[in-house]
Structure 1
Amino acid sequence: MQAQFPACGESSAVCVVRPQDLRFSIALGERDPPIMMSMQNLPFDQRACFIAGAAKSGTTLLVSLLDSHPELLVMPQDTAYFPTVLTKYRTRGRRAQFDYLTKESWTNVLFGFQAMRGRQDYAEFPKQKFLETFERVAFDPANMNRDLLVLMMEAYAEVVGVPLDRIKRWVEKTPANRNYVSEIFNQFPKAKLLLTMRDPRALLAAQIALEHTRKTRRFSVYYVVAHWRAAAKLAKKIRTKEIPGLVVGYEDLALDPKMSMQKVCDYLEINFDPDIVLNPTKVGRSWAGNSAAGVRFAEISTAPVTRWKNELHEDEVGWVEWHCRDLMPEFGYEPRLNRRSLRYFMKPIRGERPKEFLKSRAYSLRDRLKR
Structure 2
Amino acid sequence: MNKNPIFILGAHKSGTSLLRSLFDGHSELFVIPIEAHFFQHNGYWVDYGIRRQYPENINEKQIINNYIEWIDKSNTTPGGFADSDTRGLWDITKFKEKIKQGTDYSNIKKSIENYIEAMYYSLYNEELPNDIRVVEKSVENAEFAIELKKIFPNAKFVHIIRNPYSNLVSIRKFKSKRGYPFLKRIIASLYNSYYFLEKNQRIITKDYLVIKYEDLVTKPKKIINEISDFLDIAKEEILYKPTVQGQQWHGNSTTGKKFKTISSERLFKWKEEINPLEVRIINKKFKYIIDKYNYNFYENKNKKHLLYPAKQEGLKVYIANRILYNYF
TM tier, smaller:
0.7 to 0.9
CA shift at 1:156, angstroms? 2.3
Once the two structures are superposed, the pairs formed by residues 104-183 of structure 1 within 5 Å of their partners are 105=70, 107-110=71-74, 112-116=75-79, 121-138=85-102, 141=103, 147-159=110-122, 160=124, 164-165=128-129, 167-183=131-147
Q: Cα distance 1:120–1:360, how it changes in 2: closer, same or farther (>3 A)?
A: closer
**Secondary structure, aligned partner of 1:271:** coil
In structure 2, the residue matched to 1:253 is 216
Aligned partner letter, 2:192? A
In structure 1, the residue matched to 2:66 is 100
Residues 204, 221 of structure 1: 8 Å contact kept: no
CA shift at 1:264, angstroms? 1.6
Residues in 2 aligned to 1:296 and 1:289: alpha-carbon distance in whole angstroms: 6
Deviates more, 1:162-171 or 1:355-364: 355-364
Which of residues 53, 78, 83 in structure 1 aligns to 2:10? 53
**Secondary structure, aligned partner of 1:304:** coil
Aligned partner letter, 2:262? I
**Secondary structure, aligned partner of 2:297:** coil
The sequence identity of aligned pairs, in percent, is 23
RMSD over aligned CA atoms reads 3.3
Residues 9, 140 of structure 2: 8 Å contact kept: yes
Structure of greater relative contact order (alpha carbons < 8 Å, 6+ residues apart): 1
In structure 2, the residue matched to 1:307 is 269
**Secondary structure, aligned partner of 2:33:** coil
**Secondary structure, aligned partner of 2:266:** helix
Once the two structures are superposed, the pairs formed by residues 180-195 of structure 1 within 5 Å of their partners are 180-195=144-159
Structure 1: gaps (5+ residues): 1-43
Q: Cα distance 1:186–1:348, how it changes in 2: closer, same or farther (>3 A)?
A: farther
Whether 1:77 aligns to 2:69 is: no
Residues in 1 aligned to 2:147 and 2:326: alpha-carbon distance in whole angstroms: 29
CA shift at 1:259, angstroms? 1.5
Residues 35, 136 of structure 2: 8 Å contact kept: yes
Once the two structures are superposed, the pairs formed by residues 320-339 of structure 1 within 5 Å of their partners are 320-337=282-299
**Secondary structure, aligned partner of 1:170:** strand
Residues in 1 aligned to 2:125 and 2:226: alpha-carbon distance in whole angstroms: 28
Residues 67, 115 of structure 2: 8 Å contact kept: no
Pairs aligned (count): 314
Residues in 2 aligned to 1:162 and 1:63: alpha-carbon distance in whole angstroms: 22
Residues in 2 aligned to 1:184 and 1:250: alpha-carbon distance in whole angstroms: 23
Which of residues 32, 53, 57 in structure 2 aligns to 1:91? 57
Residues in 1 aligned to 2:228 and 2:254: alpha-carbon distance in whole angstroms: 27
In structure 1, the residue matched to 2:233 is 270
CA shift at 1:90, angstroms? 5.0
CA shift at 1:218, angstroms? 8.7
Structure 2: gaps (5+ residues): 45-53
Residues in 2 aligned to 1:326 and 1:144: alpha-carbon distance in whole angstroms: 40
After superposition, what is the alpha-carbon deviation per residue over 1:249-288, rounded to whole angstroms, capped at 9, x for unaligned? 1111101112212222222221111x21111111121111
CA shift at 1:98, angstroms? 2.2
**Secondary structure, aligned partner of 1:61:** helix
CA shift at 1:82, angstroms? 2.1
